[in-house]
Amino acid sequence: MGNDQSTTERRILSGMRSSNPRLHIGNYEGALRNWVELQNQGFKMFCMVADWHALTTMYEQAGEVGRNAIEVAKDYVAAGIDPAKSTIFIQSQVKEHAELHLLFSMMTPLGWLERNPTYKEKQQDIGVAEREPYGLLGYPVLQTADILLYRPWGVPVGRDQAPHLEIGNDIGGRFNRLYGQDVFPAFKYMIPEDESRAKLPGLDMRKMSKSYDNCIYLSDSEDETAKKIKSAYTTPSKQRKTDPGIPEGCAVCQYLKIYHPNWQPLWEEDRAGERGCMQNKTECIEAVNEYFRPMRERRAALDDGAILEVLAKGREEATAVAVETMRLVRDAMGLSYGL
């Protein structure tokens, strides 16, 4: 069975963990830019901050996870998620996520979770088996609850999340078969075909990541951005302007491609040894700062009080859908007890 939501009512659910206090432009390209586009196409967006998921690796820093959640929500709004059109909420504020997670945990075969590649990676990071939290294995079960609670039409994520989405539809399908009702229509995996934006490199051409200290943050000032781009990695064999560049391997050229409206001639000049790295950097700084200026202004205007209001409204909107789904779930399972 398909999903009977009409186009303008099609719900989309996505989220990010609040493991870091600030989102970088790689997070923006990999997710937020896409969410804003979907919002503007008229989809009903549910943008969640996954604080519980952050705890799977940061339970010792729970306070940090909570403070980060507020900052991440600010970045959502700064990036263009409009609280009047979309629902912005924190996972732990909608308790139904916990209830659905618990029910799914009863019917999810362990093998599905043990096979999950992201679990195996994290397990290796942690190393000592005794220190590995129970919640880590169940990560995709909680993510499935996050998703299916909203019975969404689609879920936009990066390719790395594909295994979790598959577990999600597998659990939904299993529930439907077990209890003989189509409570959870299959949702679509909205994984970008063109991954060049989503794979925006860091200042040193490695993956953009806080742990590598190679990020430009959405909330960086224009001066910070300029300083970072000035010291960014460029083609090492290009010592002077007349040396040929390799724009595919140069962080500054990669940013130009995304943020400079007319990047092609710049790339060709770089390749031909007709322009220097300093010139590239100057134009890159301008292009990046121009692109993010409105977002940074929106973010600066947003204080804690304002974002808490947005989150209170989001919590109500999310809860309304979640409560309805839980009623369907309990009815299907025969656990309604006349309520």
Q: Site residues (CB under 6 A) for ligand TRP? A: 13-17, 50, 53, 143, 146-147, 155, 157, 161
Nearest one of 216, 221, 292 to 252, comparing CA atoms: 216
| Shortest Å distance, C-beta 42 to ligand TRP | 20
| Shortest Å distance, C-beta 108 to ligand TRP | 16
Nearer to ligand TRP, 160 or 304 (CB): 160
Q: Which two tokens stand for residue 103?
A: 């029910």
Nearer to ligand TRP, 139 or 217 (CB): 139
Residue with tokens 């083609």: 235
Active-site residue flag, 257? no
Active-site residue flag, 188? no
* Sheet with 154-156: strands ordered across: 87-90, 44-50, 11-17, 154-156, 188-190
| Shortest Å distance, C-beta 207 to ligand TRP | 14
Q: Which of 122, 188, 199, 230 is catalytic?
A: 122
Active-site residue flag, 210? yes
Nearer to ligand TRP, 50 or 295 (CB): 50
Nearer to ligand TRP, 50 or 100 (CB): 50
Residue with tokens 């890159």: 284
Q: Which of 85, 120, 207, 227 is catalytic?
A: 207
| Shortest Å distance, C-beta 158 to ligand TRP | 7
Nearer to ligand TRP, 208 or 250 (CB): 208
Q: DSSP letters along 74-127, please?
A: HHHHHHT--TTTSEEEEGGG-THHHHHHHHHHHHS-HHHHHT-HHHHHHHHHH-
Terminus-to-terminus CA distance in the chain, angstroms?
28
Q: Is the Cα torsion angle 139, 159, 287, 213 positive or negative in sign?
A: positive
Q: Which of 188, 199, 210, 241 is catalytic?
A: 210
Contact, 107 vs 11, CB < 8 A? no
Nearer to ligand TRP, 29 or 146 (CB): 146
State the pairing for strand pair 11-17/188-190: unpaired
Give CA–CA dist 96/292, Å, rounded. Answer: 36
| Shortest Å distance, C-beta 140 to ligand TRP | 8
Nearest one of 152, 133, 140 to 105, comparing CA atoms: 140
| Shortest Å distance, C-beta 6 to ligand TRP | 22
Q: DSSP letters along 116-143, please?
A: -HHHHHHHHHH--GGG--HHHHTHHHHH
Give CA–CA dist 326/100, Å, rounded. Answer: 7
Just list the catalytic residues.
122, 207, 210
